[in-house]
Amino acid sequence: MDNLKKEGVIILDFGSQYTQLIARRIRENYVFSEVLSCDISLEKIEQKNPKAIILSGGPSSVFSNDAPKFDKSILDINIPILGICYGLHLLVHHCGGKVNSTGKGEYGFAEVVFENDKAILKNMSLKSNVWMSHMDQVTKVPDDWKIIAKSSNGVIAGLVNKDQTRIATQFHPEVSHTEEGTILLKNFLFNVAKCEKNWTPNNLIDEQVRIIKEQCNNEKIIVGVSGGVDSTVMACLINKAVGHNCFAVLIDHGLLRKNEAKECVGSLKNGLGINIHLYDESEIFFSRLKGVIDPEEKRKIIGDQFIKSFDKISDDLGGYKFLGQGTLYPDIIESGISAGNSAHVIKSHHNVGGLPEDLKFELIEPLKDLFKDEVRAVGNKLGIPRVLINRHPFPGPGLGVRIIGEVTKERVSILQNADAIFIRVLNEMGEYENIWQAFAVLVPVKTVGVMGDQRTYENLIALRAVTSIDGMTADWYKMPSEVLSLVSSEIVNNVQGVNRVVYDITSKPPGTIEWE
């Protein structure tokens, strides 16, 4: 998608918990955005030819010894820059103003009074609630800058320079708590930076088909699918680009949901006309996972074995040069690869952090720049049936990361049966499509129970259901009590080895959606 990336917006990450949210807000306006490490050079930024730069927030102080290192010449680039929170402090400090720590900051909601400004504040109210989050404050405004927003406590909340090329806010316009933050971001994109709305599903499909054709040059592509949204859309894109040269493979690693392997093959082959074949590799996956407890190690073993299985299958088929994968942008971000040295590894994704160094395939990853909701939009444009597009996300490592501790056939069977009941009841009760992702987790903690007149000492099943837009943040779903009651009763009465069910009410952050 190189052409569509040009003239987008670059977000420099200074460690804010909201950085990925900035990227999402930009893309919601059909403008490409990319998160990069704050230590990137000006030369590399100029090679990307962006229309604007956004400096994220962050926990540091601009005058502290541990402040992130970055190329200060970036702040003099001849394109608009928006500084958010810590980004405001950087701009003020760089342009001759002063930032000090008063010992008391503003955190959470604050009422802000805005000045009239035709560009950045167009269509915004004179007063609005915003989300503040920093100890430091501006104590001296740079020359040729003006204040455009102040909080009710007198804190400078917004600044703009004389020619409207540098804009800075003490508050976070990207979070939903800031009532008119989306308006401000739109004003920056279209009134100040003059961005174009070209990051659309139709453009993405056309561009990606072109790239796939150029990359493979009539070579055959082996495609790994799982039945999930990502791999289904990826397979359809590659099939659209190369037709019969696309050979889809579903590797059953023994960690799929109940009956999922056969159902997936039927949907893709009969429903979408994709050349797909099923291979049962479960025995080797179970043998390699024996005794493994650490979740990162499990993910990397599963990723490594996927590649080894693909190697073997492709060799049997006569050799394939390319491997298609359903990698998404959040996979890359959470694996600590996209943003560079400043990124933290949240969890390695089997198709990112788990890939071996001696990988013999050239990867084709047509979705690697997309968030989940963008993938669904592309899938709709490709004509993929709604029942496949609206499926809840399912991790590549499958149930391997939904079983806490060692993965065994017995534990997988228990979890498959419990999960199948959970998903069935959600569909029957009309709750499934209200939820971003729902699943069961096997917690191998024995608890005491009573069934009939007998004492039991069996496993614990945790239910997880969240709402989200893109998976980067999520809220736990307020499940109706009658649904939880029915699911719990059916699991305990029908799944051998389980005598207790609990419901997870943790949001992301601080938790992740998956347990491992």
Q: Which residues are catalytic?
A: 85, 172, 174
Count Cβ atoms within 10 A of the Cβ of residue 163 and give its class: 0-12 exposed, 13-18 middle, 19 or more buried: exposed
Question: What does the DSSP assignment read for 409-457?
Answer: HHHHHHHHHHHHHHHHHHHHTT-GGG-SEEEEEEEEEEEEEEETTEEEE
Sign of CA dihedral 431, 174, 379, 354: negative
Which of 462, 470, 472 has the alpha carbon at shortest distance from 505?
462
Cα 463 to its chain centre, rounded Å, is: 21
Return the bridge partners of 249, or none. Answer: 224, 277
Which of 404, 420, 415, 429 has the alpha carbon at shortest distance from 479?
429
Answer whether 181's CB lies under 8 Å from 115's CB.
no
Sign of CA dihedral 329, 434, 26, 166: negative
d(CA 54, CA 82): 5
d(CA 280, CA 333): 31
Token digits of residue 408:
């065994």
Token digits of residue 326:
């359903």
Count Cβ atoms within 10 A of the Cβ of residue 204 and give its class: 0-12 exposed, 13-18 middle, 19 or more buried: buried
| Amino acid, res. 58 | G
Which of 357, 355, 379 has the alpha carbon at shortest distance from 366?
379
